[in-house]
Structure 1
């Protein structure tokens, strides 16, 4: 036989004690008067004492009922207040927002967004892992990630954060003045290329092109190899060699006249940065406000 629930009948007891009426208590509890009377009778049998004086016209507490109300009433109010507080916390953005972000997103999304976001939602702590490897997204407990579109799993919800961008080769005006411009991907064999070693995999990133309808992949050659995209661009801007990057990542240096794109006609297609998350995670208030902040950042950047 199952253990008796110690709270059985207490809600009915408190309601009747508050309203001095079984009928009014039943209306408050949205049950029938018979259900209230039955619950009270079971409680009284369990306690072995009557809790109410009953007449055809009125109902009032017995001495035992008054003693029980004095003990249970404040506790019930404390429980109700705790539940209200918990409900409020559930709807208020708080806790730790755990993110894994593509390195490309750091200067374009995280740096401009984070100060205002933290100021607006001080109860939300942000834990950011910068990485291009997102394969353990769910297992690692991340709430959301930011990555280049084609790498997002199909069961994720994705929100675009950047304009569509292309992949191209970039060099400084000084480099092109001294060494000329490659006209086709095969020309790269005659140029100094700054090679990029992917930090998470340790391999050399191959430069991808679309030539005569065919995908072409070239492993660049050159005396310098780095594993940091920002360093790669800085070296290229100083004329060290050519790099392979996105028009989005290089946009600031292109606008400043430090880098120029070539081989755009051979770009393999368009990409974009996306915020992604599971359908279940979307319900979290801390993630909802971050999604809103990212969307606002994108709107302002597109104006």
Structure 2
């Protein structure tokens, strides 16, 4: 078997990770026809089909999945080795890709963007908003951000925010017409804006705690969303009662556009963490971003 070139293997990893020739081509800076030709050459060299492809879908074959699992960490190590050369330049350089929910982007990334741009002009930060639980390794991300309770044990993690709290909110007009819930169970008599987890498709049950009492409520939802910002906008449109992280609604509460209820039942929960593969080597650019975003101790 003729030994494949590194460029062909890189093309395969990009296509298999993106599940799309178009997106992979954009990621590598080549045209889709060029990428198709490169993949065909690679498959001819190894003598086995690596990808199943139709007009709409691209997915690895069993052999392709096996090869992908071996190549992803290898290319990560290569990238880290190349990035380590940045110590001989004037500052860290390179691309850092992060997958995070929108609320985490607002709370943990946006406040640091000005400093990143001013102090580290050689770093390009790409942030992809995702409410699900992406496989950051397979999809080519350097790191992800999730709540502490959702972290995987095989990942390193760095805390980005202090503990957070949810706020149960609606417009004053809604409460005037429908009354205010005095106990979490009263929410069953109200229109509540539901949230469905993008990763599992599971409807989220609103969790409450007061002292030793802990329980969850499967609220009635005329509207179900998978995005926190949309839930706040729906509440502002008088659709019903929403739950949101406090910081996402503090301006609306201060202006009186939203009113908060059941405050005593909303206990703190673990905040956001940045997580990344538990490997020995990672890029200087990623290390710089981690330290920039890290919550001071």
- With the shorter chain as reference, the TM-score category is 0.5 to 0.7
State the distance in 1 between where 2:281 and 2:111 align: 23
Once the 2 structures are TM-superposed, how far is the Cα of residue 244 of structure 1 from its aligned partner? 1.8
Alpha-carbon shift at residue 113 of structure 1 (Å): 2.7
Structure 2 residue aligned with 1:74: none
Could you tell me how far apart the structure 2 residues matched to 1:248 and 1:183 are?
A: 23
Give runs of aligned pairs for residues 83-102 of structure 1, distance below 5 A.
Answer: 88-90=85-87, 92-102=91-101
1:237 Cα offset (Å): 2.3
Structure 1 stretches lacking a partner, 5+ long: 1-84
**How many residues matched?**
214
Taking the TM superposition and a 5 Å limit, the aligned residue runs for 1:1-303 are 88-90=85-87, 92-134=91-133, 136-210=135-209, 213-267=212-266, 269-280=268-279, 283-295=282-294
SS at match of 2:180: coil
User: Structure 1's 270 and 87: CA in aligned 2 closer, same or farther, altered over 3 A?
Assistant: closer
DSSP 3-state at the match of 2:275: strand
**1:272: how far off?**
0.9
**Is the Cα–Cα contact under 8 Å of residues 101 and 132 in structure 1 kept in the other structure?**
yes
Contact 2:170 2:240 in 1 (8 A): yes
- Preserved contact between residue 84 and residue 284 of structure 2 (Cα < 8 Å): no
Give the match for residue 25 of structure 1: none
> Structure 1 198/283 Cα, relative in aligned 2: closer, same or farther at 3 Å?
closer
Q: Determine the C-alpha separation between the residues in 2 that align with 1:267 and 1:113.
A: 28
Alpha-carbon deviations, 1:203-260, whole Å to 9, x = none?
A: 3322122367454222221322333221210221233210122223323322333223
Alignment-derived partner of residue 73 in structure 1: none
Q: 2: distance between equivalents of 1:118 and 1:184?
A: 47
Q: CA deviation at 1:115?
A: 4.4
Please give the TM-score of this superposition, normalised by the length of structure 2.
0.62
Alpha-carbon offset, residue 169 of structure 1: 1.7
TM-score by length of 1: 0.60
Unaligned 5+ segments in structure 2 are 1-81
